[in-house]
């Protein structure tokens, strides 16, 4: 549309429909075509989408146009994410607006706020039990606050990312309430079974996500007179996407939120959307048809928005979530995240090399979401195949898990095991990065220095791998585990609360004080963020190549033939001159751009140190 006057809204919609209608029809026909009234349903879906498009504000339509003119905007080296709970970071949505300057100072361009829509009263899985897609959680603010916030963030060049919890709703969502009161139309929104034997048949092939705090995948609800599918907590009722009404209702919820100014949708628990007896009911092909249809509707109504797949599966299983560039724009690289921690625990980089070597190439424009910690546990199981390919067994996973979960006396980590349904499996790990990296247990300045190097090692990897790196709130200040009594009580039921503290205002105030661990961490990370933002070699779609080395603790890779990352995952110093020789990096060709330990001697790559080198 360059150079031309912006089309009027109606023409714009008609033009987009001409491009996307047939594909959308084909997708949805493959799922719902057997319904007699499919064509009417589809026509109604398009009318509804047209209506949402007509409601989209001029400001958001202008944003759509800008994004369409630069479709790889989110792969840029300047892109940096931050992830936080609204209440823990800023009290409420209005308080959040007051934190924008802080986010700008850090260099943030993408803000993932954990669930803030109206949530179930009482237990709600940190807001992942949504009671309404059309209202904000009252203790956090109102829809007007949300719109004011998205406008302010847009002004500051920060995209708001929100969870779109599409696998389930809370048991007090109006759909669940209607089902409970016997409404047949809404009963059909859920997977209900009269007979427990039917559940047992499915159960044979299913995993359990919360085997201790929420065992099993089905819950008997007296008011329903039936068993309801509940993959997660018993109060989170899985939606039945075999019902076209569910798809239409959820698609409309998504488009309405897009019109509030949300730019990125984190598609929570995406693998679980479709069920088939005899399967694990994860990652089924129909899931991708559903996601492609959602993408099609986004292209029609809000093409500036992005879809982020939250599928915590090995990276080799993620390409289907990107489709041929017609599904999600982003996906979590949880293999990379877990492998970084595993390499640290083992003081060997082979698992990381394996994960990097087997990371699939993505259709453009698309990008990995690179992270170090998040609000969930670190699941080690995602690495099982990688270790298997390396010829080693599950003992490796166990060793890593023990290292972080307080069962290895040599460990500096202060973490805790997450629940697992298999007592013999390697349990996931909970804990804030700083606690897992040794800040909490540090006895002296030297220990803290080493912990800081480890923090820079893992974040340095996330910043240089090639993706959208996301900082988990508090990590930039080396904030440790939540030790409040209330947190302890919550963590007893669900250990993930260990890594969900309230932002420490003392640390925040000390962030420019180089005498404090928080200040040292903040300054070092910020320096690295600023450096990265000026290096096009680190854009998500610039080529990446692993470098071979005989040194088991070394990870070395190159970006765009001109930037090299060298990282020492061990507690031993590595002689730099021999590494330079091995990697063919004479000082005449490669100069030091950044190293974690300023003013260190250039004879050694220090324990846990990372270097960035650039070709002269």
560: left (phi over 0), alpha (psi -120 to 50) or beta: left
Q: Which of 140, 257, 294, 312 binds ligand OTU (CB under 6 A)?
A: 312
Helices 334-346, 395-404: inter-axial angle, 10-degree rounding: 80
Number of other CB atoms surrounding residue 514 within 10 Å: 10
Contact 20, 296 (CB under 8 A): yes
Q: Give, in degrees to the nearest 5, the angle at Cα 170 between 167 and 173.
A: 110
- Residue least distant from ligand OTU (Cβ): 128
| Cβ contact 280:207 at 8 Å | yes
In this structure, are strands 416-417 and 429-430 parallel, antiparallel, or unpaired?
A: antiparallel
In angstroms, give the least distance from the CB of 360 to ligand OTU. 19
Q: Smallest distance, Å, CB 454 to ligand OTU?
A: 23
- In angstroms, the CA 404 to CA 345 distance is 8
Contact at 8 Å (CB) between 421 and 211? Answer: yes
- Cα 24 off chain centre by: 27
Using CB under 6 A, pick the residue from 286, 376, 447, 582 that binds ligand OTU: 376
Other Cβ atoms within 10 Å of 97 Cβ, number: 18
What is the closest distance, in whole angstroms, from the C-beta atom of residue 316 to ligand OTU in the complex? 17
Residues 127-146 that bind ligand OTU (CB under 6 A): 128
Q: Is 268 a catalytic residue?
A: yes
CB of 169 to ligand OTU, least distance (A): 11
Nearer to ligand OTU (CB atom), residue 66 or residue 276: 276
**Residue 482 lies near ligand OTU (rule: CB under 6 A):** no
Over its C-alpha atoms, the chain yields an Rg (Å, rounded) of 24
At its nearest, how many Å lie between ligand OTU and the CB of residue 165? 6
What's the closest the beta carbon of residue 499 comes to ligand OTU, in angstroms?
11
Q: Which is nearer to ligand OTU, 108 or 374 (CB)?
A: 374
Quick one: which segment of 59-67, 170-178, 263-271, 477-485 binds ligand OTU (CB under 6 A)?
263-271
Across 395-435, the runs of DSSP E, i.e. the strands, are: 416-417, 429-430
Q: Which of 377, 440, 475, 609 binds ligand OTU (CB under 6 A)?
A: 377
CB of 266 to ligand OTU, least distance (A): 8
Residues 327-366 that bind ligand OTU (CB under 6 A): none
Active-site residue, 12 included:
no
Stretch near ligand OTU under the rule CB under 6 A, chosen from 192-200, 221-229, 310-318, 576-584: 310-318
Distance CA 36, CA 160 (A): 40
Comparison of 125 and 386: residue with beta carbon closer to ligand OTU: 125
C-alpha of 379 from chain center: 13
Question: Applying CB under 6 A, which part among 65-73, 98-106, 372-380, 553-561 lies near ligand OTU?
Answer: 372-380
The CB-of-611 to ligand OTU minimum distance in angstroms stands at 33
Would you say 389 and 354 are in contact if contact means Cβ atoms under 8 Å apart? yes
Nearest Cα to Cα of residue 437 among 345, 333, 529, 513: 345
Among 152, 209, 284, 425, binds ligand OTU (CB under 6 A): 209
DSSP H or E run through 50: helix 38-55
- Binding part of the chain for ligand OTU, among 16-24, 237-245, 373-381, 594-602 by CB under 6 A, reads 373-381
Comparing CB distances to ligand OTU, the nearer of 63 and 426 is 426
User: Does residue 268 interact with ligand OTU by CB under 6 A?
Assistant: yes
CA dist 555 and 361 (Å) reads: 20
- Closer to ligand OTU by CB, 309 or 528: give it: 309
**Residue 542: closest CA among 406, 372, 381, 367:** 367
Name the catalytic one among 137, 252, 310, 354: 310
Q: Which is nearer to ligand OTU, 282 or 435 (CB)?
A: 282
Task: Look up residue 411 and give its two tokens.
Answer: 């460990």
The structure tokens listed for 215 are 């065992």
Phi first, then psi: give them for residue 319, nearest 5 degrees.
-50, -40
Q: Does 497 bind ligand OTU (CB under 6 A)?
A: no
- DSSP letter at 62 equals H
- Provide the 10 A C-beta neighbour count for residue 357: 11
Nearer to ligand OTU by Cβ, of 126 and 438: the residue is 126
Nearer to ligand OTU, 129 or 566 (CB): 129
Interacting residue with ligand OTU among 12, 64, 77, 125 (CB under 6 A): 125
Q: Which of 186, 187, 195 is nearest to 220 (CA)?
A: 195
Instruction: Look at residue 81 and give its three-state secondary structure.
Output: strand
For residues 104 and 155, is the Cβ–Cβ distance under 8 A?
no
In the complex, what is the shortest distance from the CB of residue 293 to ligand OTU, in angstroms, rounded to a whole number? 20
Q: Check binding of 165 to ligand OTU (CB under 6 A).
A: yes
The answer to the question of residue 106 lying near ligand OTU (CB under 6 A) is no
Query: Which of residues 232, 265, 380, 522 is near ligand OTU by CB under 6 A?
Result: 232
Angle between helices 9-32 and 38-55 (to 10 degrees): 150
Distance of closest approach, residue 234 Cβ to ligand OTU, in angstroms: 12
Query: 163 vs 476, which CB is nearer to ligand OTU?
Result: 163
Instruction: Give the integer Cα–Cα distance in Å for 379 and 148.
Output: 36
> What's the rounded Cα separation, in Å, for the pair 4 and 375?
45
Considering 12, 137, 163, 268, which one is annotated as catalytic? 268
> By CB under 6 A, which span of 120-128, 154-162, 350-358, 533-541 interacts with ligand OTU?
120-128
Tell me the C-alpha distance between 579 and 105, whole Å. Answer: 36
CA pseudo-torsion sign 357, 359, 364, 369: negative
* Span of 130-138, 217-225, 306-314, 569-577 interacting with ligand OTU by CB under 6 A: 306-314
CB of 15: closest distance to ligand OTU in angstroms?
A: 36
Residue number with CB closer to ligand OTU (209 or 508):
209
Stretch that binds ligand OTU, among 24-32, 245-253, 265-273, 299-307 (CB under 6 A): 265-273
Residue from the set 269, 405, 448, 549 that interacts with ligand OTU by CB under 6 A: 269
379 makes contact with ligand OTU (CB under 6 A):
yes
Residue 284 near ligand OTU by CB under 6 A: no
> Whole-angstrom Cα distance, residue 555 to residue 348?
9
CA distance 171 to 180: 9
What amino acid positions are annotated as catalytic residues? 268, 310
Interacting residues with ligand OTU (CB under 6 A): 125-126, 128, 165, 209, 232, 268-269, 271, 310-312, 375-377, 379
């Amino acid at each position: 549309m360059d150079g031309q006057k912006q089309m009027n809204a109606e023409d714009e919609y008609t033009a987009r429909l001409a491009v996307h209608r047939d594909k959308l029809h084909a997708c949805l026909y493959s799922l719902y075509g057997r319904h007699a009234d499919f064509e009417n349903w589809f026509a109604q879906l398009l009318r509804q989408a047209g209506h949402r498009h007509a409601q989209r504000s001029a400001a958001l339509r202008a944003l759509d146009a800008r994004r369409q003119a630069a479709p790889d905007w989110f792969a840029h080296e300047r892109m940096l994410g931050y992830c936080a709970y609204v209440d823990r970071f800023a009290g409420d949505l209005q308080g959040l607006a007051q934190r924008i300057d802080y986010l700008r100072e850090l260099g943030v361009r993408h803000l993932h706020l954990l669930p803030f829509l109206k949530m179930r009263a009482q237990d709600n899985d940190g807001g992942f039990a949504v009671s309404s897609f059309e209202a904000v959680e009252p203790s956090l603010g109102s829809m007007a606050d949300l719109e004011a916030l998205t406008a302010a963030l847009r002004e500051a060049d920060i995209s708001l990312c929100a969870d779109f919890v599409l696998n389930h709703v809370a048991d007090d969502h109006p759909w669940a309430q209607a089902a409970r009161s016997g409404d047949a139309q809404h009963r059909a929104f859920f997977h209900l079974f009269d007979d427990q034997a039917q559940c047992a048949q499915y159960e044979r092939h299913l995993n359990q996500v919360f085997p201790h705090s929420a065992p099993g995948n089905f819950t008997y609800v007296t008011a329903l007179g039936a068993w309801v599918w509940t993959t997660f907590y018993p109060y989170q009722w899985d939606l039945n996407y075999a019902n076209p009404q569910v798809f239409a209702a959820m698609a409309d919820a998504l488009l309405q939120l897009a019109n509030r100014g949300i730019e990125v949708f984190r598609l929570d628990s995406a693998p679980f959307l479709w069920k088939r007896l005899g399967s694990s009911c994860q990652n089924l092909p129909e899931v991708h048809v559903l996601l492609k249809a959602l993408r099609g509707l986004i292209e029609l109504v809000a093409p500036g928005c992005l879809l982020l797949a939250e599928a915590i599966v090995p990276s080799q299983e993620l390409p289907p979530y990107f489709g041929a560039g017609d599904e999600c724009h982003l996906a979590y690289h949880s293999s990379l995240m877990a492998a970084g921690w595993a390499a640290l625990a083992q003081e060997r980089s082979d698992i990381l090399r394996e994960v990097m070597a087997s990371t699939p190439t993505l259709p453009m424009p698309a990008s990995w979401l690179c992270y170090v910690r998040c609000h969930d546990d670190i699941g080690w199981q995602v690495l099982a195949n990688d270790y298997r390919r390396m010829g080693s067994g599950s003992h490796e996973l166990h060793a890593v898990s023990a290292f972080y979960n307080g069962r290895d006396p040599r460990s500096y980590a202060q973490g805790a095991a997450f629940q697992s349904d298999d007592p013999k499996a390697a349990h996931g790990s909970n804990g804030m990065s700083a606690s897992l990296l040794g800040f909490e247990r540090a006895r002296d300045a030297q220990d803290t220095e080493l912990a800081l190097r480890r923090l820079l090692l893992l974040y340095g990897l996330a910043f240089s791998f090639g993706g959208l790196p996301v900082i988990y709130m508090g990590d930039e200040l080396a904030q440790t585990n939540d030790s409040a009594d209330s947190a302890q009580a919550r963590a007893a039921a669900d250990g993930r609360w260990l890594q969900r503290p309230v932002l420490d205002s003392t640390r925040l105030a000390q962030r420019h004080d180089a005498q404090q661990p928080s200040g040292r961490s903040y300054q070092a990370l910020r320096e690295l963020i600023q450096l990265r933002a000026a290096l096009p070699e680190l854009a998500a779609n610039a080529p990446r190549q692993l470098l071979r080395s005989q040194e088991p603790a070394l990870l070395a890779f190159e970006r765009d033939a001109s930037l090299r990352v060298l990282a020492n995952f061990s507690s031993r110093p590595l002689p730099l001159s021999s590494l330079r020789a091995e990697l063919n990096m004479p000082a005449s060709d490669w100069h030091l751009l950044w190293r974690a330990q300023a003013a260190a001697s250039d004879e050694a790559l220090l324990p846990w140190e990372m270097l960035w080198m650039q070709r002269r």
